[in-house]
Structure formats: structure tokens, C-alpha cells
Amino acid sequence: MATIPSQIASGTQKARESAGPFLTKMARAGFAAKGVLYTVVGLLAAASAVGVGGRTTGSRGALQTLIEQPFGKVLLAVVAFGLIGYSIFQFIRAIEDPENEGTDRKAIAKRAMFFLSGLIHASLFLAALRLVVGSRGARGGGEDAGAQSWTATLMGYPWGRWLIAAIGLGIIGFGINHLVRAWKAKLDKKLVLDGMSGTTSTLFRRVSRFGIAARGVVFGVIGAFLLLAGWRYDSTEAKGLGGALDALERQPYGPWLLGLVAVGLVAYGAYQFILARYRKIQT
């Protein structure tokens, strides 16, 4: 006769197995939703770079752009579903560790990043939901305002400015990690590309590497502004994705630099679509 703990364990296992296919679909929808947002951000930035409209904005600006399109609420609702799916997938990766990251120091740091990513995408889901239902607070003050708000809050604590500088250094390191991944990561490790022609497979890899590198550049800029905010004790120096792109545009040869990064962000969006279709999903 099975004991109560074994019955609970058996029931939990069956629940996980039955939920697996649904969670896999939600994860794939999440990668696709990320692809949509990065593609919109990249296209808007590219249009700004060549002077045909557009603007430098981040994920929340992309959400606002989507709802302004024909059938925008329907489109944004679909993207919102993907965002909450991606958030849940990241929480599962952080807590359950289905991909066997491990429990050493490096793995714990990685799983902490998964959890943070889950929180970020949950907040994006809420922002999208507010736009869909027409909440007055949906527009907010943008990602720069959000970054400046929490930076100012941290500065109110002892050693707050140095904590902000440390976070900035961490984000710079995250950006550098993206550049390293773009150069030498084995992208096939979590992709199922069997049966694909060599030309198509090579194209997918190159687009993915270019996109990862572009995202690394943007994170490096965001981290540099946070480091500057801590150093100068000025929260207004903090920037989000849109502010980082705007800063690139204001540099010497800015439109060219912004245009290159914008195309890279579109490539990163394409990489997310590739992940949505070909990634190995373990839940």
C-alpha cells in the first residue's frame, strides 16, 4: 500500500506531465512575443536613424505602438498571453531547474537571472493588460522614468549610490557576456535544427549571433548610464532601452550607429522567433 507522501509525489509527477505540453506551448508563445517586441523596437529605431519617422523606445513603447495599429487590442492581447507564458517559463527554470543548470555558484546566479527575467516579463504583461483594458495609468512615464525612479529610491539608502554603480557594472558584464556568446556560443545546444539545409542553418546562426551582439551593446550602454548615475549621485542619468538607443543616436555618426544596432535588434527579434519554433523546451 502506497504511503501518503508517495501518493502526493506520484500525483505531483502526473500533474507536471499533464501540464508539460501546455507549458511548452506557453513558452513558445513567450519567445514569439519577445520577438514581436524586439522587432518593433528595432524597426522604430531604424526609421528614426534614417529620418523617416519612428522613435527610440523600449518594450513599453513597443506595446503602445502595437495597440495603435489596426486590431491593436487583439494583437496586444495575444502578445500579453505570450509575455505571461514566458514569465512562467522563466520562473520554472529558476525554481524547478528543468534544464539541470545545477546548484553551484554560477548556476545559482544564472537561475537568479531567470527569476528576474520572469519578474520583468510579468511587469510587461501587466503593462500590456492595462493598455488592453484602457487603464488610465497604462501609458506611465516610460522606461527611462522607471529606471530613474528606482535609482532615486536606492540613492536614499546608505551606500545606495555604490549599489547602483555595482548594478551598472553587473549590467555591463551582462552585455559583455552577450558579446562573448555572440562570438563563440554553441547555438545548436538548445535548438533542434535537424533536417534543415546547411544554407538555412548557417543563416539562422548568423542572424542569431548578430542579434545577440546588438542586445549586448544596448545592455552595455544601459549599464554605463547606471554606473554614471551612481558616480555622479544623479538618478536622472539612469536610462532604459529607449534612452540607451537615444544616446547612441546622439553620438558622432549616431544615425549610422543607431541604424546598425536597430538592425541588430530586429535580428534579435528574429532569433526569438527561431527559439519559438526550434528551441528544446523542458518544463
d(CA 283, CA 90): 10
Rounded to whole angstroms, the Cα distance separating 68 from 22 reads: 30
* pLDDT value of position 11: 41
| Confidence label for 136 from pLDDT (cuts 50, 70 and 90) | low
Whether the pLDDT of residue 7 is over 50: the answer is no
Gap between the Cα atoms of 211 and 178, Å rounded: 10
For 253, left (φ over 0), alpha (ψ -120 to 50), or beta? Answer: left
Confidence class for position 19, pLDDT limits 50, 70, 90: low
3: confidence class by pLDDT, cuts 50, 70, 90: low
- 9 pLDDT more than 70: no
At residue 102 the predicted structure's pLDDT band, cuts being 50, 70 and 90, is: confident
At 64, is the pLDDT very low, low, confident or very high (cuts 50, 70, 90)?
very high
* Mean pLDDT score of the chain: 87
With a threshold of 0.85, does the pTM exceed it?
yes
Mean of the pLDDT values across residues 163-188?
89
pLDDT 10s digits, 238-266: 898 999 999 998 888 889 999 999 999 99
Parse the chain into domains and list their residue ranges: 19-278
Q: What value does the mean pLDDT take over residues 43-70?
A: 91
pLDDT tens digits for range 199-239: 888 888 899 999 999 999 999 999 999 999 989 888 888 89
